[in-house]
Amino acid sequence: MDTSDEWIRSRTGIAERRIAEARDTTASLAITAARQALQRADADPRQVDLVIVATATPDYPLASTACLVQDAIGAADAGAFDLGAGCSGFVYALVMGHRSIASGESDLVLVIGADTLSRMVDWDDRSTCVLFGDGAGAVLLRATEGSAGIRSTLLGSDGSGSRMLYVPAGGSARPACAETVLQKEHALRMDGRQVYRFATQTMADACERVAERAGVPVKDVHHFVPHQANQRIITQAAKRLQVDESRFFCNLERFGNTSAASVPIALCEAAEGGRFRPGEQVILVGFGAGLTWAAALLEWGDAELGRRVSWWHSLGRKALYGWAHVRSRSRRTWRGAIQRLWRLLLPLTGLDD
Ligand code: UT7
């Protein structure tokens, strides 16, 4: 392809990316992230009330990836749905999870951002295929007493820009057919320059507005965890906000743009690296297809990362995942057996199918 490492690094800041193995899917990455989050929080998957997966690359157009996750982790009492808001998806999902808890509807919500955009780019289109990587990140939300947690949120959209970043075919407007495949209409199309302009404006505006809603001057926000699309977009946003760029956590150099997974992967890496201290203000901000944008301001709590989880609990969770697998298989087998029996008996009953 007519590109170079120098062009990609200087125009985007990306040096490496992760591409899912053939056996992996968005759901398998999401399940791994979900299990890690449950392990970190030492939480019982059976107590999860809601599973939200933000993704633009679900395993299937129907059923949802969230249901595949719910089944694999054994969240037997949970509701589950996918959320489509492009690269803003994770922050959108976080806001939905937060509101579900605030309304008293849920106690424990699993929020996942997962995408395998490597499956949806045209590998002959240099303007997009050099940008995207695959990944998943997850957080577990629960109600707490005290000031730590999500303090303000902001969601935005502008559908007039939907053609700036979209996949033309495979939906009801242009169902899949031989021609759509030949024309590569199932691959992502992007007007990079326009999206760039939108992103630089939106990211700073969203940060300012979400900080204002929390009553925190933006200069007092300690950390920003932005969607990792392009280092230049992040630099521009920092300039507009007049805050030091070092306050923006960046890891796109190693992961590229992982779409809905980028904010949670960055958040987890930053937290794991000990970047946040209790009481500090953190803004998560995303933008992407739709067009959409979203931001949340959190006060970092005593997240107890790195806390030792007893081997007994870890083993218990592994056993639950094993049991979830058995439960899922036996349910499928049972349904198949009932169906076969019904087909056998139907002619004898004289009833219609
Ligand atoms: O998460 C979803 C949101 N997506 C984004 O945030 C992406 C936002 N956009 C961007 O990050 C940037 O616009 C890009 C990285 C996509 C492109 O960078 P740019 O500096 O805006 O480049 P450009 O589109 O203005 O293109 C400049 C030149 C063009 O050549 P000409 O027309 O000047 O001769 C492109 O054809 O660079 C060319 N070009 C490339 N050259 C080498 C485009 N892609 C490549 C490439 N390698 N991969």
Q: Whose CA is nearest to atom 11 of ligand 1?
A: 230
Best probe residue, ligand 1, of 1, 127, 258 (max atoms within 8 Å of C-beta):
127
- What is the pLDDT at residue 304? 59
Task: Please tell me which residue in 67, 98, 207, 227 is annotated as part of the active site.
Answer: 227
List, for residues 57-103, the tens digit of each pLDDT value.
999 999 999 999 999 999 999 999 999 999 999 999 999 999 999 99
Q: Is residue 349 scored above 90 in pLDDT? A: no
- Residue 207 annotated in active site: no
List, for residues 252-294, the tens digit of each pLDDT value.
999 999 999 999 999 999 999 999 999 999 999 999 999 999 9
Whether the CB of 9 sits within 6 Å of ligand 1: no
Whether the CB of 66 sits within 6 Å of ligand 1: no
Whether the CB of 130 sits within 6 Å of ligand 1: yes
List, for residues 212-228, the tens digit of each pLDDT value.
999 999 999 999 999 99
Q: What is the average per-residue pLDDT within 240-244?
A: 96
Task: Give 255: exposed, middle or buried? Use CB within 10 Å, 0-12, 13-18, 19+.
Answer: buried
Instruction: Please state whether the predicted TM-score (pTM) of the whole model is above 0.75.
Output: yes
Q: Which tokens is 274 given?
A: 């000990």
Ligand 1 atom, smallest distance to 232 CA: 11
- What is the pLDDT at residue 309? 86
Ligand 1 atom, smallest distance to 129 CA: 48
- What is the pLDDT at residue 315? 93
Whether the CB of 229 sits within 6 Å of ligand 1: yes
- Residue 227 annotated in active site: yes
Q: What is the average per-residue pLDDT within 17-23?
A: 97
- What is the pLDDT at residue 350? 78
Residue type, 17: R
Helix segments in 248-310, DSSP class H: 252-255, 262-272
Ligand 1 atom, smallest distance to 12 CA: 15
pLDDT band at residue 305 under the 50/70/90 scheme: low
- Residue 257 annotated in active site: yes
Task: Please tell me which residue in 87, 207, 250, 268 is annotated as part of the active site.
Answer: 87
Q: How far does residue 193's CA lie from ligand 1's centre (Å)?
A: 7
Which one, of 294, 288, 286, lies nearest residue 225 by Cα?
Answer: 286
Q: Where are the beta strands (DSSP E) in 45-197?
A: 50-54, 79-83, 108-116, 134-142, 149-157, 165-166, 189-190
List, for residues 46-65, the tens digit of each pLDDT value.
999 999 999 999 999 999 99
Q: Is residue 352 scored above 80 in pLDDT? A: no
- What is the pLDDT at residue 353? 65
- What is the pLDDT at residue 132? 97
- What is the pLDDT at residue 108? 97
Whether the CB of 197 sits within 6 Å of ligand 1: no
Q: Whose CA is nearest to atom 35 of ligand 1?
A: 127
Domain-by-domain residue ranges, the chain? 5-299, 310-353
pLDDT band at residue 306 under the 50/70/90 scheme: low
Query: How far are the Cα atoms of 81, 112, 179 from residue 70, in angstroms, in the given order?
Result: 9, 11, 36
Q: Where are the beta strands (DSSP E) in 55-144?
A: 79-83, 108-116, 134-142
Q: Is residue 241 scored above 80 in pLDDT? A: yes
Mean pLDDT rounded to a whole number for the chain:
95
Q: Is residue 327 scored above 90 in pLDDT? A: yes
Q: What is the average per-residue pLDDT within 308-314?
A: 88
Please name the CATH architecture into which domain 5-299 falls. Answer: 3-Layer(aba) Sandwich (3.40)
